[in-house]
Structures are given as structure tokens and as C-alpha cells.
Structure 1
Amino acid sequence: MRFDLTDLRLFLNVHEAGTITGGAERSHMTLASASERVRGMEEALGVALLLRERRGVQLTPAGRTLLHHARLVLQQMDRLQGELADYGAGFKGHVRLLCNTSALSEHLPQVLGGFLARHAGISVDLEERASSEIVDALRNGLCDVGMVSDSVDLDGLQSFAFCADPLVLVVPRGHGLAQRRSVDLAEIVDCAFVGLLDGSALQAHITQQARRLGQRLNYRVRLRSFESVCRMVGEGIGVGIVPQAVALRHARAAKIKRIALTDAWAARNLMLCVRDLDALPAPAQQLARHLLAHSP
């Protein structure tokens, strides 16, 4: 059984287009050539990959398995081309780092900046994702290093404690809850909230916790940064949930009060995760060890 990259990209295009004709067009080949390639894959495997119907094609179980692996292979090839291009631009290494919202905004910039200053030949792709997506990406070999909350399943990964990162409630100083030392989410679901824009990994996490209570939070406004959230809370627009480090940094300027959240999901830690530290390429190992040595 031998498939080349053209076969895999064609199969992905056929799935996305819903027809072999559409897949052939996306792959810039004739219908006859595309059909022959698909039949060749099926003959090599000895099993049907597509169910051919009047209005298009559907994947068989074997086809879904091939699609999954085709995506992984093509993503890896795209990444390889990008990394080799970096060498042509003078870089000697490339690391893909995925992290959650809190790590990206509060804990990584200074530590990562120090690493990049010391390693001029290494480039880093830094992307925000939800912690659950990051661990899946690590297991599938789609990134080198991940920074996640310890609330997700870390089974099968090497994980190292990076820093404590509890979530807290922030309220205006004159708010009715301002004298409380702690609350839980169930007590505040009816409050007006200030939050981050859709697409924020942390915002998605908070929304999920509210759903588990059968509730939906009422957001008066959604903003781009934690600093903006804190300042809007200080103006009396609503309450917010942010990392404790954020609340401490902006408490005076934003005129907010922080209150501990007693929910288990709020008492979290940031973890640095990899598949196998010793098996990582040298640049990724250097980054991971630097982050752990300079954790807050």
C-alpha cells in the first residue's frame, strides 16, 4: 500500500467538495484521473473508501480513518515546508507553542521574550487555544509544547507544573459583593458580566461551567483584553472572571475588588506539557527547559 501526497490531498478535496468531480477541480486534475486515483487507493486497501450516491459521495468507516490520517500528514508537510523556509530566512530552529488565554496574556510574554533574546536563530509560533484542544494537538503531533490548565485530561503526556493560576471574580469597589471573601458561580449567574470576545479560550471555559449549572451568563459587553475587562468592571458595568494575576495587577488603576471563587474549576494551575521531552527537537527542548527554569 503506497499513497502519495497527491492521493491524500485529492481524497481530502473530494470529502470537502462532496463529489469526485468537485475534488478533481480543487486538485486541478481531470475527473478521469481523479476517479482512477480513488479507485487505485481502494484497490490497494482492498476496501471501499467512498459510498457513491446520486448527489455525491459519503465516507465509509475506512474512508473516515484515511481522512483523519491524511489531514495529519498534510498538516505535517505544510509545517515542514514552513520550517524549512525559516532556515532559508536565517533561522536555525522552529517551535510551535500552543497556550491558553491566561498563559498568553499574563505568564508567557516576559519569559518567552527572554528566551527569544538569547536564541536569535529560533523562531516560535505562539497560538492561543482552549486547553482541551491543546492536549489533543500534542497527542496528534500538531505542536511541540503546550501550556494548559490542569483541569484537562493530561493522560499520555509528560506534564510539568508551571505556576498557580486561580480564577477570581472582580467587582466594582461599591458592589454588593465587594465585602465577600469568596463566592461560587451559582451565586453570581444572575449578575451582569463583562467578558472577553468570542474565540477566547478562557471565555469558552467559563461559558462551559455556566452551562453545567444549566445557566447562561448575561454579558453586557465583551472586550479584547483582561485590562479592558477590569476597567469596565471598575466603571460599574458588571462583574468579571479573570486570572488572579490580572486582578492583582489592575486592582488599583481599575478600582476593582477581587473575590475568591470556591468552584473547583477555578482553583487551577498552569502545566507545561509535551509528548516526550527528551524526544523533542533541540529547539523545542531548549524552549521547554527555559520556560520551566523561569516559571513565575
Structure 2
Amino acid sequence: MRYDLVDLRLFVAIAEERNLTRGAARVSLATSSASHRLRLLEDDLGAPLFARQPRGVALTRAGEALLRHARQVFAQIEQMHADLAPYAEGVRGHVTLWANTHATHSFLPDDLAGFLRRYPQVSVALEEHTSPDIVLAVARGEVEVGVVAGRIEDADVELIPYRADRLVLITPGAHPLSVRARTRFTEVLDYPFVMLHAGSAIHTFTTNAAAALGRHLDVRIQVRSFEAVCRMVGAGVGLGLVPKSAVPLAGLREPPVVVNLDEAWAQRDLQVCVRRRAALSGFSSALVESLVNTQG
């Protein structure tokens, strides 16, 4: 059986819009033409892909399976374009890497710089996403390599240890909590916080941790980097929750005080996430090898 990419794009559009007319419009087809193409596709497959409903359509089991595979096909096509496009610019390889906030702002800058020095013919596209989104994208085949933190359960991916780290509380020097060696998360929720911007992985993780306790964080200010969090906390604006590796050892006029968090989830070891390590393309495999063999 041969699959037409136009039909697959139409099918994905209808599945995502949950509506034949809107899906057809998204791929610039008339509704009648889209309906005809969909009917022929279902006839070729020998199974219905959608259950028609009064206000749209819903995927059948066969439709869910086709959607999963179609997304992988288009992800591979996009990766093919990404791999080939750099040749026109004199670059002979390209790797897309998704990573959470923690990795993006701590270990990856130096580690990627080392990788790029060893492979000057390669370009890397680094995108920041939450760990659950990274795992899902890798499992679907939408991206080859990710870096995630924390426990990942029941995911159809391979996880390779990358870096050990943990979240710590940072306080101003004169704060009542600054004299403590460790504290529980519940004991700090009445104080204002300095946070990374909304939408960052660590912002989402921290607010979810508070929500799990039935509480809300009092976010006084949001900034764009861990260094800015440390500077704001040191200046007395509020408390912060950051990876220990992100706290500068020197260079701040008013350095924050580090207090250990007595929480199991504070251990945030980083892991490289791939679908199947043995199946990685050349430069993606080289990147994974470089990251997991980095000493630190």
C-alpha cells in the first residue's frame, strides 16, 4: 500500500481539529475533496479512521494508530530537511536537542561548547521544554535527543545518566531561614519568591509542587536566568528555588545563602533521553556520547 503525503497531512489536520471542514481548510482543500480523499484512504486501509459525531469527528482505534505513525513520518521529514538545509550554508550536520530549564541554564552551555569544538561541521538547535513534553516528543519520534530531570516512569524511551544535581532553597543573608541547614518545602510557602519566567520548566515544576500541597506561590518577581534569581534573592527580594549547580560560587556582591530542601523530589538528576540509542543518526549519536561521557 502506498501512502500519499497529502492524504496523511489531511488526516492529521482533521484529527487535530476534530472537524472535517476545519481540517480541510488547514491544508487548503475543499471539504468535498477532503471527504473524498478521506473515504479513499479508509477504503485502502480497510478500517474507519473517524467516528462521525454531530459536532465533529473522533478518532477510532485505527485512527489513533495512524495518527501516531503519521506524526513520526512528518517528524522524520522535518529532521531530514533540517539535516540537509545546513549543507547549503557549508555545515555538514545538524542536531536538534530539547532540554529542560535546569540543563539549559547550567551544564549544557559548557558541554555543548565542547561538543561543537570537536565537531565544527555540526550545528545544534537547542530548545527549552518541560521534561514531560520532552519525553513525549522523543517517544513519538518528533525529536531524537532530549535532556530531562527527575523520575520518568512508564515512558517508552531510554534514559542515560548525565549529571547529578538537586534543587536547593536560596535566601537573603538576613532571612530567618538563612541560619538553617535544611528545611521542608511546606515551611517556606508563606514567603515571597523570585522565580524564572512563567512557562519555564522549573517555574511549572515549582508551582505544581506547591499546588500538590494545596498552596500557591507568592511570586514577587519573574526573571530570565538563574543568575538573575540569585542576584534578586541576595538583594532581599524574596526566596528562590534553583539547582545547586546554578548558584554562583563568586562574583555576586550580595550572594544568597543556600539551604538544603528536605524533599525527595529535590534530587533532580539529569538524564539524556532517546528513543533507542542504537538507532540514533550519526551526529545525534555523537552528541549523546559526548554528553554522557562529560565529567562533572
Deviation of 1:145 after TM superposition, in Å, equals: 2.0
Q: Distance in 1 between matches of 2:158 and 2:266?
A: 23
On the 8 A contact 2:150/2:265 being kept in 1, the answer is no
- Give matches, 1:121-160, under 5 Å: 121-153=121-153, 156-160=156-160
Deviation of 1:278 after TM superposition, in Å, equals: 3.2
On the 8 A contact 1:147/1:270 being kept in 2, the answer is yes
Deviation string 1:186-206 (CA, Å, 9 cap, x unpaired) is 111111111011111111111
Which residue is equivalent to 2:198?
A: 198
Which residue is equivalent to 1:30?
A: 30
Q: Which runs of 4+ in 1 moved over 4 A?
A: none
Which residue is equivalent to 1:21?
A: 21
Q: Distance in 2 between matches of 1:46 and 1:116?
A: 49
Q: Distance in 2 between matches of 1:43 and 1:19?
A: 20
Q: Which stretch shifts more, 254-263 or 51-60?
A: 51-60
Are 1:282 and 2:285 an aligned pair? no
Which residue is equivalent to 1:292?
A: 292
Deviation string 1:6-59 (CA, Å, 9 cap, x unpaired) is 111111223344443333333223333212111011212233223344544343
Which residue is equivalent to 2:96?
A: 96
Deviation of 1:251 after TM superposition, in Å, equals: 7.7
Aligned length: 296
Which residue is equivalent to 2:60?
A: 60
* Aligned-CA RMSD value: 2.1
On the 8 A contact 1:111/1:295 being kept in 2, the answer is no
Deviation string 1:46-98 (CA, Å, 9 cap, x unpaired) is 33223344544343343333333322322221222222212232222222212
Which residue is equivalent to 1:168?
A: 168
Q: Distance in 1 between matches of 2:257 and 2:220?
A: 19
State the secondary structure of the residue aligned to 1:253: coil
Query: Residue type matched to 1:2 in 2?
Result: R
Query: Residue type matched to 2:165 in 1?
Result: D
Query: Residue type matched to 2:144 in 1?
Result: D
Q: Distance in 2 between matches of 1:250 and 1:212?
A: 35
State the secondary structure of the residue aligned to 1:178: helix
Query: Residue type matched to 1:291 in 2?
Result: L
On the 8 A contact 2:169/2:261 being kept in 1, the answer is yes
Are 1:261 and 2:261 an aligned pair? yes
Which residue is equivalent to 1:273?
A: 273
Structure 1 residues 160, 66: CA separation in 2 closer, same or farther (over 3 Å shift)? closer
Structure 1 residues 51, 269: CA separation in 2 closer, same or farther (over 3 Å shift)? closer
Query: Residue type matched to 1:159 in 2?
Result: L
Q: Distance in 2 between matches of 1:154 and 1:67?
A: 21
Structure 2 residue runs of 5 or longer lacking an equivalent are none
Structure 1 residues 56, 132: CA separation in 2 closer, same or farther (over 3 Å shift)? closer
Are 1:40 and 2:47 an aligned pair? no
Q: Distance in 1 between matches of 2:51 and 2:100?
A: 40
Q: TM-score by structure 1 length?
A: 0.91
- Give matches, 1:175-186, under 5 Å: 175-186=175-186
Q: Distance in 2 between matches of 1:121 and 1:41?
A: 42
Which residue is equivalent to 2:214?
A: 214
Q: Which stretch shifts more, 271-280 or 119-128?
A: 271-280
Q: Which stretch shifts more, 68-77 or 202-211?
A: 68-77
